[in-house]
Chains A and B, each alone.
Chain A
Amino acid sequence: MTPRLRMTGIRKSYGSTAALRGVDLELRPGEVHAIVGENGAGKSTLMKVLSGAEQPDSGTMEFDGARFRPPGPHAARDRGVAMIYQELAICPDLTVEANVTLGQECSGYGFLAAATNCERVAAALAQLGHAEIRPDAPVSSLNPAGRQVVEIARALLSDVKVLVLDEPTSALAQSDAKRLFELIKSLKAKGVTVVYISHFLEELEAVADRFTVLRDGLAVGSGRVGEVPRERIVEMMVGRAVTEQYPRTPHAIGAPVLGLTEVCGKEMPNGVSLALRSGEILGVAGIVGSGRTELLRAVYGLDPVRAGVVKVGVYSSERATPADRIGQGIGMVSEDRKEEGLALELSIRDNVALSRLGDGATFGFLSRSRLRSALSEVLTRFGVKFRDADQAVGELSGGNQQKVAIARLFHQRADVLLLDEPTKGVDVGSKADIYQQIGEAAASGKAVLIVSSYLPELFGVCDTLAVMCRGKLSAVRPVSEWTPEQVIAVATGSA
């Protein structure tokens, strides 16, 4: 079979760092090809080269046997190569129809052919199995899954032959992810080549035909999904055998430090009670939108608590600001790293020190040297890879950014850690580091509350587990008493 697209010896450097060091990749018509690799392995760069957003320093690309070197994303799309980014490219003020047809409107003499455009969009959406999305609805009224469909419809409209999906499920609830897989299968049936980038190896098994592993700017292996065991793929990704995906540090559970009694937020959570003990790692599972994030925000004082009592150590109150909570020893890592978790333009140092600047200051003046020594210890412990602490956090890879966000809690010396999706968009190696740190924190007597959509992670890391569904929290039980099937049943309300 002739390949749809062939990349040969692609090299790309940014300054002195080589992002790609001669990658070969072959994509066949009508296959789902997974690209896996740790963050910083070169996946994004490779896909940017493929979709025309970046120009390779050397190497060649062939599309259906013809030379392919798009000068920009639009040129690539004209040839049938489209990419759906993790941060969706959507104009929030426009309608679905306008978003889908953007840049490829049917028109005559500069005037839009409104009816034709609407028909095309409706047809594309129906083809994708999402006929319930109306072309004239404002795109801001759609949830992330809906917006993603809009983007895929846009690609479909431009007669896409190769569709690149970058971490498409990271913002989706589980059921939406299932629908996405069905959609991918239908695209495949139409002969579209889908390039699928993901951290979730389970997903590859669900959706991909073949895979290629990237490491340090090189393609280190590829094969058919199902023929290569998962452990072997992980090994290829990290370059070493990951003997234990979830390192556990032995820790003892002590006295309760955080108690919630019938806590209600604005809409969610709705009457949540739980007790978190020192040295305990408590996992909260549930689908996106079930009120897990809202629970953490209410406890941390970001959202108002409508009713109920939050008891932190000796403090008991319904109303508190985040500053109060920090004073009471609570720390939180937001799931939204870019918007809430970190100030991307600020330096690593400032980000870590942000919630406890007072320590490095004398009479309101910051002491740089005192901050530096305090921080370098925390950063080294977390294995954050950085050039220097004055570097802007935005320059780091996703995994390292997340480490910085969590390191802040340790610098802050929080006793209760609220972690919302702590490994979202983080590569395998960094994940292991983060799990290690969570375990050690528990061993040193801290209490940890983890919200995650990734079940294996919860089962691998937590002592106890509870499931959230429509704002209500199930009973907290030790992990050993749960099975993944039970969790999913409770989470989807079918238990």
Chain B
Amino acid sequence: MPRPLYFLLAATLPFVFGCGGPSNEQFTIVVIPKGLTHEHWQSVHRGALRCAADLEAEDGTRVRIMFDGPLRERDAMEQIRIVDRRVATGASGIVLAPQHSQTMTACVKRAADAGVPVVIIDSGIDDPNHFVKYVATNNYNGGCLAAHHLIGELKKQGKDKPKLILFRYAVGSQATEDRERGFEKTVNDICPGVVWLSTDKYAGATRDSAMREAGPMILQYGKDVDGIFAPNESSASGTADVLRSQGLNKKVVLMGFDASKPLLQSIQEGDIIGSILQDPYRMGYLSTWYCVQHLRGVNVNKSRTDMSESTGEYLVTEKNLNAVSTLRLYDPATQATRTTDELRYGPNGKPKP
């Protein structure tokens, strides 16, 4: 009988949601990632929580972290809804990884108009006037780093005039386009004899689409190509899969970006020569920190032109795969051992006053 069903539902739900007493935290920071499924965002979340813990340990400031994002990374509408919802229901500050640099401007402006400061992380937003701080990886720099490593490896093999493929991610994705630009520019600078076999193929959003696109491309150029750069996790993994299936792994040098368990496994086995890792843990930490500082009235920017802060980009190869310097980027246990100073002020520690 359905009527009791309602009561049953009503009775069990409090347990499902968990009962918590009223709290009197001073700030509620809402962290809004692009999506919920990616490992990257879990690190951001952990970083934010760590920042809250540090703040409470320091001077008893209670910061409540809410982690709320759209389930799917392309659900643009849902992200706008979440921002509006949170602004309307009393968030003190928002940390946002915008899905799109232009469409998210309006709701960031609305938040700012309502007096809720927004810290932008991960990728940029076009309107510079309504957010507090931009905390992200320097993707251009990451692309340069990838170029140096790839060309270095090829030179070790004696290939001074390598034939390369730049396997792009997607049109309009600012972060990956920066990586591609940095890569292309650096390669042309340090290796003038380079031959570009292909720079106009797009991998698309998923590993599956990357495999679909990479298959014919590698069939066409497989005999000639020396090195490939894939500018994100899914395109790198997909390309590695295709190389493996055509027996070209370890023969063609593949450079990736970002990390996942399978991708790191491929580096271990030598199918991928290296990858550039970001520091999402620090991204989460730092953005929360700036948000709270701003709320406390501290000016977090030296000037209007100094609004962005890079959290660093790190080359990972077979050699440093299991080093602490790599593990601290993605492994929860190692992340927890990082020092507060390093997280707040970077690898060089607190600057001398």
Please say whether the chains A and B touch (CB closer than 8 A): no
Residues of A whose CB lies within 8 Å of any CB of B are: none
Residues of B whose CB lies within 8 Å of any CB of A are: none
